[in-house]
Amino acid sequence: MPRPRHIAIVMDGNGRWASERHRPRVFGHRAGVKAVRRTVEAVIARGIESLTLFAFSSENWSRPATEVNALMDLFLKAMRRETEELSKHGVRIRFIGDRVRFAPELREQMAACESMTLANSRLNLNIAVNYGGRLDIVQAARRLAERAATGQLDPADIDEACFSAEIALAEQPAPDLFIRTGGEHRISNFLLWQIAYTELHFSPALWPDFDALRLDQALLDYASRERRFGKTPEQVRQQSTVA
Residues identified as active-site: 12, 60
Q: Is 91 exposed, middle or buried (0-12, 13-18, 19+ CB in 10 A)?
A: buried
Separation between Cα atoms, residue 75 and residue 69, nearest integer Å: 10
Alpha-carbon torsion, ordered 214, 218, 224, 225, to 10 deg: 170
Q: How confident is the model at residue 226 (pLDDT cuts 50, 70, 90)?
A: confident
pTM of the model: 0.92
For 66-110, the pLDDT digits (tens) are: 899 989 999 999 999 999 999 999 999 999 999 999 999 999 999
From the centroid of its chain, how far is CA 123?
Answer: 13
Pairing state of beta strands 199-202 and 91-96? unpaired
β strands within the chain, DSSP E: 6-10, 50-57, 91-96, 123-131, 177-180, 199-202
Report the residue count for the chain: 243
Separation between Cα atoms, residue 33 and residue 170, nearest integer Å: 27
Alpha-carbon torsion, ordered 117, 123, 127, 132, to 10 deg: 130
Judge: domain 6-133+175-242, CATH 3.10.25.10.
Answer: no
pLDDT, residue 217, reads: 98
Tell me the mean pLDDT in the region 205-222: 98
Spans of all domains in the chain: 6-133+175-242
Pairing state of beta strands 199-202 and 177-180? parallel
Closest C-alpha to 98, from 64, 32, 142, 65: 142
In the predicted model, is pLDDT for residue 243 greater than 80? Answer: no
For 186-199, the pLDDT digits (tens) are: 999 999 999 999 99
Coil vs helix vs strand at 130: strand
The residues, ordered by sequence, that sit 6+ positions from 183 with a Cβ below 8 Å of its Cβ are: 13, 202, 203, 204, 206
| pLDDT, mean over the chain | 93
The residues, ordered by sequence, that sit 6+ positions from 147 with a Cβ below 8 Å of its Cβ are: 153
Coil vs helix vs strand at 199: strand
For 114-163, the pLDDT digits (tens) are: 999 999 999 999 999 999 999 999 999 999 999 999 999 999 999 999 99
pLDDT, residue 240, reads: 59
What's the one-letter identity of residue 122?
R
For 3-59, the pLDDT digits (tens) are: 999 999 999 999 999 999 999 999 999 999 999 999 999 999 999 999 999 999 988
Separation between Cα atoms, residue 205 and residue 42, nearest integer Å: 17
Separation between Cα atoms, residue 163 and residue 150, nearest integer Å: 17
Q: How confident is the model at residue 204 (pLDDT cuts 50, 70, 90)?
A: very high
Are 52 and 92 contacting, i.e. CB atoms less than 8 angstroms apart? no
The residues, ordered by sequence, that sit 6+ positions from 200 with a Cβ below 8 Å of its Cβ are: 178, 180
